[in-house]
């Protein structure tokens, strides 16, 4: 069994100035219209993880598209590390899908392979990272390369 929490910024959410999250599928770069960077607590266990995400479109307009990376919180010391999928790294993609009238469709897909190089400063509330991922299950053929530089949203 696999469960995932999904956080979608509200339309009027405030994004930290200077935040940048972008990806490409070859030469064309896509820049996120919204970004997220926060410390998430999983309520039943209290387990903490860092969540970083870049988003384009909206669910209401049925053009939502995002990538999310997350790693476990260790402590408040500087985190400089390269993670691989299966090494406490979670990488996923989500996007709008057609839905019956009156509903909004949304699909969430886990990466089949991924790598993240990260520099996260919990005290300053900043993170920089480079990631690549492969989504090939269930007919997907995505191979994004991305970069982000974010300031925490939850401080």
- Judge whether residue 11 has pLDDT over 70: no
- Judge whether residue 1 has pLDDT over 50: no
- Judge whether residue 4 has pLDDT over 80: no
pLDDT of residue 14: 56
User: What one-character-per-residue DSSP string does the chain give?
Assistant: ----------TTPPPPTT-EEEEESSS-EEE-SEEEEEEEEETTTTEEEEEEEEEES-TTTT--EEEEEEEE---SS-EEEEEEBTTTBEEEEEEEE---TT--EEEEEE-SEEEEEEEEETTTTEEEEEEEEEB-GGG--B--EEEEEEE-S--
pLDDT category at 16 given cuts 50, 70, 90 is confident
* pTM of the full structure: 0.88
């Amino acid at each position: 069994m696999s469960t995932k929490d999904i956080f979608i910024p509200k339309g009027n959410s405030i994004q930290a100035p200077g935040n940048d999250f972008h990806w490409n599928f070859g030469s064309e770069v896509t820049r996120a219209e919204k970004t997220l960077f926060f410390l998430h607590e999983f309520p039943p266990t209290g387990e903490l993880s860092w969540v970083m995400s870049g988003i384009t479109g909206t669910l209401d307009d049925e053009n939502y598209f995002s990538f999310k990376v997350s790693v476990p919180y260790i402590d408040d010391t500087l985190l400089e590390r390269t993670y691989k999928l299966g090494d406490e790294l979670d990488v996923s993609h989500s996007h709008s899908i057609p839905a019956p009238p009156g509903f909004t469709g949304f699909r969430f897909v886990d990466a089949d392979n991924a790598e993240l190089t990260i520099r996260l400063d919990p005290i300053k509330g900043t993170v920089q990272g480079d990631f690549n991922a492969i989504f090939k299950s269930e007919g997907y053929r995505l191979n994004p390369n991305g970069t982000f530089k974010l300031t925490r949203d939850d401080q």
